[in-house]
Amino acid sequence: MYLMALAVLTACEKEVEFKAPGEETPSNLTINSIAVEGEPLRVFLSRTYTVGQTPNLDIGYSYAFNKDERSTDYQKPLYYKKTGVFNADVKAVVNGSSTYSLELAADSMGYICDYRPKENDRIEIKAEGISAETVIPSRPHIEVLNHEVLTGNPYMNMAGLSYDTDTIMSLSCLIREVSGSQYYRLRVRGERKVTRSFDVSVNGEHVSHTDYAYYLLQDIFFSDDDLFVDNRLTKNFGGWPAYFSNVFDDTLIKGGSRPFTVISPKPSANMGIADFKGVTDIMKAQADEPDIPARVMVELQAISPEYYRYLKSVELYRVTENDAFSEPVQIYSNVQDGWGIFGSLSSERVYIPYD
């Protein structure tokens, strides 16, 4: 039995004929790629390993401070260096006719080309004897009809989460289905950008001054609408409550439109580097760019059928992996003669400021 190493750090398993460790054949390679409408195509290609040989996922991220540029440079984790395949012949065939070669990206995080997928494009990825294909969905449509800023977050102490503010935004939204859209993922994120200044002194003498900028992100949102109910997800996971999923199909939309309400917690402006809690994330930003006041991003993604199946299998795997009474969950793969996922999406975003 093999486990596949995905760039998104999830596991996948299938029954396969055993091959000697380290033997390079098409069956021990993985494609991991999501083609996004309007963005350059990027593909990550990695190796698969037997269970006992999988590299340690705890080999983490590192940062190197650049004194001259007063910046912190992100260093690629060793995990990707160990699992990645960086000398492959990777091609994309679009609509059965146009072929594009993908070159190793400057950051070595996968292969990239200038081709930008368009709605309804059929794309096939070919790499070292394995292949997968997807069709770019039509762009979805979402409206924010109304929003209200409230205090007294009812989810403050749910699922072990903690927030530095009890302020939330309640948003009334409307999905209007377009032709061909069948599967969706909704992202609702509280975000803001803040700059922190740090002075270093030694024996009372000033040594240096550095500005660090961060995006504060709160990706967990809540809703009581039936759109987001998945009765298979019987446990909380990663801040999401039990039975909740932001990945859904169009069963309750039925070719028309669907109103719903969501709640997004507000990231606090007073959070310091050591004060980030719960599921709030930090992302490095450019200190010379203006700060962004608190706002909510609402993004509706139309996702391809294979990406929908992959996301659903990952959700189910996460809530059952430590349950001895649950049936084993196989992570969905659509790669021929290999492993992994090649899916696609198109999206529409709306930003709503708090102020």
Same domain, 291 and 154: yes
- Per-residue model confidence (pLDDT) at position 1: 37
Same domain, 334 and 281: no
Q: What is the pLDDT of residues 81-101, one digit of tens each?
A: 778 899 999 999 999 999 999
Res 142 pLDDT > 90: yes
- Per-residue model confidence (pLDDT) at position 202: 67
Q: Is-contact 214 284, C-beta < 8 A?
A: yes
User: Quick check: is 316 in a domain?
Assistant: no
Same domain, 196 and 293: yes
Same domain, 119 and 192: no
Q: Is-contact 283 273, C-beta < 8 A?
A: no
Tokens 């690629």 — which residue? Answer: 76
User: Quick check: is 86 in a domain?
Assistant: yes
- Distance between CA atoms of 310 and 331, rounded to whole angstroms? 6
- Per-residue model confidence (pLDDT) at position 325: 63
Q: Can you give the length of the chain in residues? A: 355
Mean pLDDT of 160-177: 77
User: Quick check: is 70 in a domain?
Assistant: yes
Mean pLDDT of 2-17: 38
Q: Classify each residue of 227-237 as buried b or exposed e, where b means 16 or more C-beta atoms within 10 Å of its C-beta.
A: bbebeebeebe
- Distance between CA atoms of 1 and 341, rounded to whole angstroms? 19
User: Quick check: is 50 in a domain?
Assistant: yes
Res 157 pLDDT > 70: no
- Per-residue model confidence (pLDDT) at position 25: 42
Q: What is the pLDDT of residues 275-301, one digit of tens each?
A: 333 333 444 445 556 777 889 999 999
Same domain, 183 and 292: yes
- Per-residue model confidence (pLDDT) at position 11: 36
User: Quick check: is 311 in a domain?
Assistant: no
Same domain, 127 and 147: no
Same domain, 148 and 84: no
Res 110 pLDDT > 80: yes
Instruction: Give the residue, 275 or 142, on which the prediction is more confident.
Output: 142
User: Quick check: is 294 in a domain?
Assistant: yes
**Domain limits at 289?**
141-300
Same domain, 133 and 149: no
Q: What is the pLDDT of residues 208-260, one digit of tens each?
A: 666 666 667 778 899 999 999 999 999 888 888 899 999 999 999 977 899 99
Mean pLDDT of the residues in the chain: 78
Q: How many domains does the chain have?
A: 2
Same domain, 252 and 330: no
Same domain, 21 and 43: yes
- Per-residue model confidence (pLDDT) at position 74: 44
User: Quick check: is 9 in a domain?
Assistant: yes
Q: Give the end of a domain, one of 267, 284, 300.
A: 300
Instruction: Give the residue, 112 or 201, on which the prediction is more confident.
Output: 112
- Distance between CA atoms of 117 and 92, rounded to whole angstroms? 11
Same domain, 124 and 233: no
- Distance between CA atoms of 127 and 137, rounded to whole angstroms? 23
End-to-end CA distance of the chain: 54
Res 50 pLDDT > 90: no
Same domain, 165 and 282: yes
Nearest residue to 147 via CA among 304, 322, 298, 301 = 298
Q: What is the pLDDT of residues 334-347, one digit of tens each?
A: 999 999 999 999 99
**304 alpha-carbon distance from chain centroid:** 15
User: Quick check: is 246 in a domain?
Assistant: yes
- Distance between CA atoms of 265 and 279, rounded to whole angstroms? 11
